[in-house]
Structure 1
Amino acid sequence: MPFENVYAHRKVADTAQKGCDICYRPTTSVLISDGPDGKDFFFVCPAHIKDRKFCSPIIDQDAVEARKKKAMEEELERVKKEYEEKKRKKEAEKKKKDEEKEKEKEKEKSGDKSKDEEKDKSKDKDNKDGTDEVGAGAKKSEASAATLEEEPRFFALQRVFYNQRLAKKREAEMARRNRERLQQPNLFPSVPKNLPGT
């Protein structure tokens, strides 16, 4: 076998795009296989790469486990930070409430209680709105990063397509050998120099 059935998915520049080997549409996606006799590569559309009847992804279990472990550690750090922030906020709110209680006692004496309650309610609403927006944005960015990393890079062609690639490689090798043979001067027999019967 000149090359293994392990193809890496690569992208080329838009100026170097060529027709897909299957549907002939211009594409920048290339599947490349390294082998001892050289590389086998062909252009293919991203839609064909996702098709399970054309090729199947080769998943590196060690890399997947390492990625999961890293994600768990990041999640743990994020949860710890959130917990610390909530704890600080609760402590700050407790101090604030204690101060407010002291102020209320003083204000009961003065009688300006109703104005301060309206101000506190508006501040609490503003704080709640701000924290919800920040948390949602962080979750969206994490989800988009996770989907980008999930895309596999190595594929194995289905048997029919892999055999086609092997046949094309063999045909190209035979054509190269035939061209070399035709260029050799001693390929064809030479004209006899002496006449027959003499």
Structure 2
Amino acid sequence: MSFPNVYTHRKVAEAKAKSCDICYKLSSSVLITPDNKDWFYICPAHLKDTGFCTPFIDQAAVEARKERELREEIERVKKEYEEKQKKKNEKPDKGDKDENDEKGDKKKEGEDQKQQQARDRSDTMNDESATSPAQEAEEEPRVFELKSAFYQLRLNKKRQAEIARRNRERLQDPNYFPSVPKSLP
């Protein structure tokens, strides 16, 4: 009746919340084994306690996430560079204009560039702020390994439940108890 010491953190509906196995407060967080043999309700605060469990970090997933972020950053920089090149190529030739017109145009272009840079900054900040809550959710570990003492408690609890179930089945069996003797001694 052994199961691996790898638990996945899942959320249940608030209406289905039950008491935490450690502190008995209502909790909607559940730790469950991959094969669904063992599960229990736990407070999110206990998941951060290093004395209770440690996050199980999947190095392959971390590397894949870093690589994906790097690709997204490269794509963003390429787009910005292409936009700047298009704007640079779209500028009209200044050879036909007067010096006064050129001075006025330079001031306008300087203002336009400042406005464009401000817009670019706000766009990048909006992009970063839009992705940051999702990244924070990803940053929270989902797979945990219980400390040995708590894991042993879970194993003992499961063993006791299995023994109690077997005893109930035995008591339901009519052949479990001895029968009354039918012959005289």
TM-score tier by shorter-chain length is 0.7 to 0.9
Query: TM-score when scaled to structure 2?
Result: 0.86
Equivalent-residue separation in structure 1 for 2:39 and 2:157 (angstroms): 11
| Pair 1:126–1:74, CA change in 2 (3 A) | closer
Q: Which shifted more, 23-32 or 140-149?
A: 140-149
What does residue 90 of structure 1 align with? 88
Q: Deviations over 1:146-192 (max 9, x none)?
A: 22222222111110100000000000001011111111112222222
Identity of aligned residues (%): 53
User: Using the alignment, how far apart are the partners of 1:118 and 1:59 within structure 2?
Assistant: 55
**Larger radius of gyration between Structure 1 and Structure 2:** 1
Q: Which of 20, 44, 47 is matched with 1:46 structurally?
A: 44
SS at match of 2:145: strand
Structure 2 CA distance for aligned equivalents of residues 192 and 181 of structure 1: 21
- Structure 1 distance, partners of 2:108, 2:183, is 122
Q: Which amino acid aligns with 2:98?
A: E
* Rounded Cα–Cα distance in structure 1 between residues aligned with 2:39 and 2:2: 13
Give the aligned partner of residue 193 of structure 1.
182
What value does the CA root-mean-square deviation take over the aligned residues? 2.4
Aligned mates of 2:65, 2:102 — CA distance in 1: 56
Count of equivalent residues: 185
Deviation at 1:26, TM superposition (A): 1.0
Structure 2 counterpart SS, 1:103: coil
**Taking structure 1 as reference, are residues 114 and 85 closer, same or farther at Cα in structure 2, changes over 3 Å only?**
closer
Match for residue 102 of structure 1?
96
Alignment of 1:4 with 2:11, yes or no, is no
Q: In the alignment, which residue of structure 1 is the partner of 2:127?
A: 138
Q: Secondary structure at the match of 1:147?
A: helix
Q: Deviations over 1:60-101 (max 9, x none)?
A: 222221111111111111111111122223334xx34x43x6
- Offset of residue 115 of structure 1: 6.9
Q: 1:160 to 1:87 in 2, by over 3 A?
A: same
- Name the TM-score, length of structure 1 as normaliser: 0.81
Q: State how far apart, in whole Å, the 2-side matches of 1:28 and 1:61 are.
A: 28
Match runs of 1:1-198 below 5 Å: 1-35=1-35, 39-92=37-90, 95-96=91-92, 98-99=93-94, 102-105=96-99, 122-196=111-185
| Change in 2 beyond 3 A, CA 1:120/1:72 | closer
Find the aligned partners of 1:126 and 1:72 in 2 and give their Cα distance.
28
Structure 1: unaligned runs, 5 residues or longer = none
Distance in 2 (CA, whole Å) between partners of 1:86 and 1:31 is 50
- Summarize the Cα distance change of 1:117–1:84 in structure 2 as closer, same or farther, 3 Å threshold: closer
Residues in 2 aligned to 1:44 and 1:82: alpha-carbon distance in whole angstroms: 46
